[in-house]
Amino acid sequence: MNDSFDPRSYGAVADGHSKDTAAVQAAIDAAATQGGTVRLAGGTFVCGTLYLKSNVALEITNSATLLASPDIADYGTDTHHNRYRNEPELDRCFLFAQAAENVTICGSGVIDGNAAAFPNAGSIYRPMLLRVLRCRNVRVQNLRLLNAAAWTTAFLDSDFIWATDLHIENHRNYNGDGLDFDGCRHVWVRGCYIDGTDDNLCLQSSGLPVQDVHISDCAFTSVCAGIRIGLKSIGEISGVVISNCTMRNIWREGIKLECTEGGSITDILVENVTMHNVRRPIFAILNNRYRPDDLGSSVELDHIPPIGTMARLRFVGITAVDDEGMAHAQRRFDNDIMGEPKFGGCRLDANAAHPIEDVTIRDFWYTAIGGVRLADLPAAPYPEVPDRLQAPTAPGSENYYPDWSRTTHLDARNVRGLTLENLHFNTLYPDERPKMLTEGPTVML
């Protein structure tokens, strides 16, 4: 890719007000004929949907900003769809690549999703910043991705992806995810800073497998989860290594695993991670669910599946420390309670007939906030994880229900093959709950 294409040659103005969509797209199309680089420099380019092509690099230099148009009519309706049920407001996107190879988005400039133009209330449409569908050899590198109106990225059914040295910040709207991978294989995420209003990084399967994923040297801050594996879990998610990362001010989960749609989550290694003010450092649940009217159900799922498989999870070298700020509840947009002291602690939970298998937690230092009295908790027993094929409407333990924890540090229920070694548990304030519980067919090794 030696040839460079300047959108100004095709009529771009880059004044921060004029629409440059046609000019930038013309430069991309020209570069696609022979392979080349479309280079944005010296201004703010306002665009609607841009269609990325094979063998083209879109470079936003440090003197340029690529700004999402505030007009929803500038966004194509042919950019696939959001794969969560009942969220059509997220179907459109700013940058789109489909069935392409050797796609690069790079530079040291800014891609701004213009979130202020698409508030949570009002127009239902909020375009994602980037959607990649059935592509191969995709590189997103050395950029600031700011103010996404919805998710920052959605990589779907694609292979060989590098997301490196990215600075991602979303603070204005709901659904402010950072990096989302669904049905992707051979993924490298390295050196990224992600701060947002939803899960920072997600690995999910709407059917195709997620395999060979490397996440390292990243920093996460979120009002939801730092790294979430699953929820959308129809297929296989396996072969994931998370290493040498930091997490700070995460109001729900640091590492969150949810196998809920009949598939499998296996062979996960988390090592050398430090967490400061992370409400639930480790969370894993194996269950089954399907709700036709629920935002958290996959479009591809139309029935309650059998309970799937979760196995071979290793958490090694984790340090989690709370400070006094965790004594208070945290909220999103001054409304939703995201976390509070009674909700904290690590949790591994499954249906008794379908246990999680082979979990190791080793070298774990955890100072939790504590400060909860038993009188502040419900008197009813902690609910079981039901098999929804047998009890489709019965109350039961799920992700955010119940909204309290039985322990200050670790609650492991229905885990076959649990290895615990060199655990150090402390609380900042006295707490009447036990530090740790193991229950059900939990076999400790």
Per-residue model confidence (pLDDT) at position 1: 44
What is the C-alpha to C-alpha distance for residues 257 and 105, in angstroms, rounded to an integer?
Answer: 30
Mean pLDDT by 10 residues, the chain (445 residues): 88 98 98 97 98 98 98 97 91 98 98 95 89 98 98 98 98 95 98 97 98 98 97 97 98 97 98 98 96 85 96 98 96 87 97 97 98 94 95 89 95 96 98 95 64
- Domains, in order of start, for the chain: 4-378+404-444 (2.160.20.10)
Looking at residue 354, its pLDDT comes to 97
At 333 the three-state DSSP class reads coil
Q: What angle do CA 374, 380, 386 make, to 5 degrees?
A: 125
Confidence (pLDDT) at 442: 65
pLDDT at position 2: 60
pLDDT value for 421 = 96
Answer for the pair 225, 200: CB distance below 8 angstroms, yes or no: yes
- Phi, psi values for residue 242, rounded to 5°: -120, 120
Report pLDDT for 203. 98
Q: Give the per-residue pLDDT at 124.
A: 83
Q: What is the reported pLDDT for 444?
A: 65
Cα 256 to chain centroid distance, Å, stands at 10
Contact (CB, 8 A) for 378 and 404: yes
Q: CA torsion sign, 80 to 82 to 86 to 89?
A: negative
